[in-house]
Amino acid sequence: MEAKKKVGLWIRVSTEFQVKDDSPQHHERRGRQYAEAKSWNVVEVYKLDAVSGKSVMEHPEAKRMLRDVRSGKITGLIFSKLARLARNTRELLEFSEIFRSHDADLISLSENIDTSSSAGRLFFTVIAALTEWERSEIAERVAASVPIRAKMGKPLGGQAPFGYKWVGKDLMIDEKEAPIRKLMYELFIEQKRKGSVASILNNKGYRTRNGSKFSDTTITRLLRDPMAKGTRRANYTKSLGEGKKWEIKPESEWVVSACPAIVTEEVWNRSNQILDSIETHRKPMGKKPVHLFAGILHCHCGGKMYVPSRTQKYVCNTCKKTNINTTDIEEIYYEQLESFLLTKKDIETFLTRANSAIQTKTIELQAMRNEKVKVKAEMDKLIKLHSSEQIPTEDFGNYYTPLSQQFKQIEASIPEIEAQLDFIKNQQLNSDFILENAASLYEKWPTLSSDSKRHIVDELTDVITIGKEDIDITFNYSPAHNTIQNAKQNNLFVLPVITLNAQHNLRDSY
């Protein structure tokens, strides 16, 4: 039997007024009802009463919640809306990254975002993919200006390398640091060990610019930098993304200019020859390639298809006969992706049914809220009549008690209906977003990274079957199976599963 998902409830209100007017108890009941509809266990409640959303990351409850995520005590967090989690965009993104890195889900009821569902994950995947493309566009525009500024000899931002300093717009030798950098080269030629050089410098009391001890990595970086021999390189690296390594650009894009030298070219060349010799014997393994369709691609015999090492083809692990070139299958998938993303008919059918259910539940919720206002007004009226002695005390309870019980029942029912409405909306694919961005996603597909493409393939695709003469691609937009079963058990509306098939005749490709 599959273990139930363990989740926490996040209850935050920003002022004392909201604590009284927008009851935390109401939000908690709504969250518990949603968790119950999903058959999840609520194991923790994180309450931040009268706390501003400007910055919550350092709040004790936020720290407790993040500890529980990292330890695996909870694998999801339910909150009423994103603004309740935090109003600070930077902190929202930080929360998102922490949850993503620990395979935990964020569930925002008002925004209908539930990353435990296929629709919620797809929503975030598409956002991430398009955001990546936008970042690369901005980076390209910035990068285009770098060679121009470099050729003009202008600073490109950041500090000068160790041993140098900027004086206005001129690069000059730093009289305090340059002797240390020169000694570094001399020691390396003598010792031929990066660790030994670092230890000697540290034992002499020398430190890096920020006060840290020298390390093997720092020694390597400074020894490799040709600026020490009087050759300044600019526009020769690019970032692969936040938290990732930098990549060397093609040499044709570099901007090289002269600068003051700290060591002779002979000393620099000798040091780098020794480095080359060391690294030749410690050549690291290359990064494992990302294959878009590994595990999703099936042979007509039933076996899964993978790309063996030193090949460029997906091969059936079972029959060993069926194979297809990695480039060919991506081109075919890309071709079918266009018709899938840009065809509205099936998605509109899906939306029509979902919207009907949402409308029915919304009307029910509004009727319940109206009834609550009506009953409250009648209760207030009775209190006024009693205060003016128009209703005797001995008769007051006969009138007031039934209304009070009804009011409590309504108060308990409203969060339950809200949770049911949240559940229905979270089953529904965020198709408005997909339809608005489908053309854009298709257009940008060739520029996306392999990781982004793989995420999209995972969320959009159920299975791809390689037949003898054709390829069958099954695109799947559906709630997770356990969500459907839980919904049936809780007598909730269940949206239909929509599975779209696209066939491609292999003869058309050759």
Query: Tens of pLDDT along 431-440?
Result: 555 555 666 6
Q: Where in the chain is the domain with CATH 3.40.50.1390?
A: 6-111
Which residues 6+ apart lie within 8 Å of 277 measured at CB? none
> Which pLDDT belongs to residue 179?
94
Q: Where in the chain is the domain with CATH 3.90.1750.20?
A: 153-280
Distance (Å) of CA 258 to CA 69, 151, 261, 267: 52, 11, 9, 17
Q: What span, in angstroms and rounded, lies between the C-alpha atoms of 231 and 334?
A: 45
For domain 153-280, is the CATH number 3.90.1750.20?
Answer: yes
Percent of residues, the chain, with pLDDT higher than 70? 69
Q: What span, in angstroms and rounded, lies between the C-alpha atoms of 77 and 87?
A: 16
User: In the predicted model, what is the mean pLDDT of residues 315-344?
Assistant: 82
Statement: residue 497 has pLDDT above 50: no
Number of neighbours of residue 490 by Cβ within 10 angstroms: 15
Looking only at the bridges linking them, the beta strands covering 461-466 and 297-299 are parallel
Rg (CA), the chain: 32
pTM: 0.44
pLDDT-based confidence at residue 445 (cuts at 50, 70, 90) = confident
**Residue type, position 17, single letter:** F
User: Which of 22-26, 198-202, 232-236, 406-410: highest mean pLDDT?
Assistant: 198-202
CATH of 6-111, one of 3.40.50.1390, 3.40.50.720, 3.30.2010.10, 3.40.50.1370: 3.40.50.1390
Classify 291-510 by CATH class.
mainly alpha
Q: What span, in angstroms and rounded, lies between the C-alpha atoms of 477 and 462?
A: 9
**Rounded to 5 degrees, what are φ and ψ at 326?**
-60, -40
pLDDT tens for residues 184-196?
999 999 998 999 9
Q: Where in the chain is the domain with CATH 1.10.287?
A: 291-510
Statement: residue 73 has pLDDT above 90: yes
